[in-house]
Amino acid sequence: MRSDSGKELTVLKVDGGLTNSDLCMQIQSDTIGINVERPHMREMTALGAAIAAGIGCGFWKSEKDVVNQMRESKKIDIFTPVTTPDVRENHLDAWKKAIKKSFP
* Predicted local confidence at residue 40, as pLDDT: 85
**pLDDT tens readout for residues 55-101:** 899 998 888 888 877 766 678 899 999 999 999 999 999 999 999 99
pTM of the predicted model as reported, rounded to 2 decimal places: 0.73
- The residue-averaged pLDDT of 5-17 equals 90
- The residue-averaged pLDDT of 23-31 equals 96
**pLDDT tens readout for residues 36-47:** 999 888 788 888
Residue 42 near residue 67, CB atoms below 8 Å: no
* Predicted local confidence at residue 73, as pLDDT: 64
- The residue-averaged pLDDT of 6-20 equals 91
User: Hey, is 83 helix, strand or coil?
Assistant: coil
User: Hey, is 35 helix, strand or coil?
Assistant: strand
Q: Residue 11: which residues within 8 A CB-CB, separation 6 or more?
A: 34, 35, 36, 37
